[in-house]
Structure 1
């Protein structure tokens, strides 16, 4: 793992690898109490860090497995309270629910269940509390502001530190690949609303889940993510106008190019995710496209 001391209270922690969608970067906050957010570093590093730091709370931004499966270590290696987004409680407490609401609609339930249980080691949470934007962390981190930033997931959350003008953006898509919306419960319009909300903050440093630290051209980071979405939409429209089928467009990749080079079962999974992303774009195009709902972005990007 790589630790970067950002301030005397915030440490940014990155895993050695994010391969196979199994880990993410997170933060340690040392304030009135000690809080971990999205400390999914892997099966060796996460338990070690929990024992070293012994946090008071372990928070996840959303239910996606590369952000949440580390919580299975919390009770064994610390006394921390696990805190999960209120609206995503069923996904984190029921294997059947999370499979049915992710891979189920794509006919991939059994293959995904095997991967989730036997490779990512998903375990339903039994001891936890829920939080929302209205939750006060005053007893632990009084300087932290909780922000609803849904779209990537139904209740994705970001965390803002106004005194330092630092944002832990979570997984809103500020990395070079842009926003991901590969499950049926993702929502492109809500992602854009969240990005515009974050763009309205006074931010001098962004700590991301998968894109490292962003120190320069802060506003451009949010607009670039919106541009990714708009460019995907425009590309799909051009291909449809040329008479390409849905299957052919997906085969060329929406988010994941060169899927033919990926080994199974990941090839099936990325095809499933690209299918979901195509479906989201197709529905939005039928409604008139992204700019119809956000005319202001045309001049911004």
Structure 2
């Protein structure tokens, strides 16, 4: 389904809610046709002349943003330089997610690639590593000229190391990808995520002050964007405080995960893994700012 944003720019919205394995994408019909992200599902792209799209910009290397690449046979794929190797090197892919830490955190071997929900037929790929040849990469503040419309790549790390948004400055529209303003707060559970970067990325969006935000997993936002960003990041700050309070008593990561601060209704092993990875990222942040310390045998306590 195509939802108009401004002239020549549409949201490509999934038929169902834009939740994993789906996400909103963007279609730009300028002198050169382009799409941003590829995870809306094949049916969502039915009204787009996919074989005429020349450029596909990828916000980051998460499955729900890339699985529709086979729809665009003529498109040049571009992604952030920070994640370039993730598209071609399986070891980089494993490290990017933190799957190399699975056995130590979970105490068992991992036998699947994150397929935790049934996938419909319009999801044209399956989770796991696959080589996706890139036609180029972009960096922060690179301007991509499509002819009548230009957009700027905006590095917004925190969700992942190479997470990008795309700003159509003339139109005041920011495709913010997984800086998605959902009420539950950010997802920052991979090895490539960083709490400090996430907070700074929210501040950067506030400084840009877009008129419209198109997020991956929520409808288009036009009201109180700055306030929404504050509320979004407050979820992260509240978890920081909760962990700091819990560490009045020395505890291990395993013990901290029992409090289910991130996924209070865990439904599968992956949500337990992401719980532990999120807490691990918080612990990194608290250590960085000298608020806690790691003792021998993986025990953490307040300084």
Same fold (TM over 0.5): yes
Within a 5 Å distance, the mapping from 1:180-195 to structure 2 comes to 180-195=187-202
TM-score by length of structure 2 reads 0.82
Within a 5 Å distance, the mapping from 1:13-162 to structure 2 comes to 13-17=12-16, 21-42=20-41, 44-45=42-43, 48=46, 51=49, 54-75=52-73, 79-102=74-97, 103-107=99-103, 110-113=110-113, 115=115, 119-120=126-127, 122-140=129-147, 142-162=149-169
Residue 274 to residue 215, structure 1, CA distance change in 2 (3 Å):
same
RMSD: 2.7
How far 1:219 moved relative to its partner? 0.8
* Alpha-carbon distance in 1 for matches of 2:186, 2:250: 27
- CA offsets per residue over residues 202-235 of structure 1, 9 Å max, x none? 3221110112211111111221122111011112
Structure 2, unmatched stretches of 5+, are 117-123, 292-303
How far 1:20 moved relative to its partner? 7.6
How far 1:247 moved relative to its partner? 2.7
Structure 1, unmatched stretches of 5+, are 291-301
- CA offsets per residue over residues 250-287 of structure 1, 9 Å max, x none? 2332322211xx1xxxx111111111110111122233
What residue is the counterpart of 2:288 in the other structure?
287
1:221 pairs with 228, 233, 236, which one?
A: 228
Does the residue aligned with 1:281 lie in a helix, a strand or coil? helix
* Alpha-carbon distance in 2 for matches of 1:41, 1:201: 26
What residue is the counterpart of 1:272 in the other structure?
273
* Alpha-carbon distance in 2 for matches of 1:156, 1:127: 16
How far 1:242 moved relative to its partner? 5.9
* Alpha-carbon distance in 1 for matches of 2:80, 2:163: 7
* Alpha-carbon distance in 2 for matches of 1:57, 1:109: 39
Count residues in correspondence.
279
Residue 205 to residue 136, structure 1, CA distance change in 2 (3 Å):
closer
By percentage of residues, which structure has more helix? 1
Residue 239 to residue 214, structure 1, CA distance change in 2 (3 Å):
same
Q: Is the CA contact 1:27–1:38 (under 8 Å) kept in the aligned structure 2?
A: yes
TM-score by length of structure 1 reads 0.82
1:177 aligns with 2:177: no
* Alpha-carbon distance in 2 for matches of 1:121, 1:203: 34
1:200 aligns with 2:207: yes
Q: Is the CA contact 2:50–2:72 (under 8 Å) kept in the aligned structure 1?
A: no
- CA offsets per residue over residues 74-131 of structure 1, 9 Å max, x none? 22xxx11111212211111233431244211222774243749984365311353222
Q: Is the CA contact 1:148–1:155 (under 8 Å) kept in the aligned structure 2?
A: yes
Residue 113 to residue 140, structure 1, CA distance change in 2 (3 Å):
farther
Q: Is the CA contact 1:25–1:210 (under 8 Å) kept in the aligned structure 2?
A: yes
What residue is the counterpart of 1:249 in the other structure?
256
By percentage of residues, which structure has more strand? 2
Residue 126 to residue 159, structure 1, CA distance change in 2 (3 Å):
closer
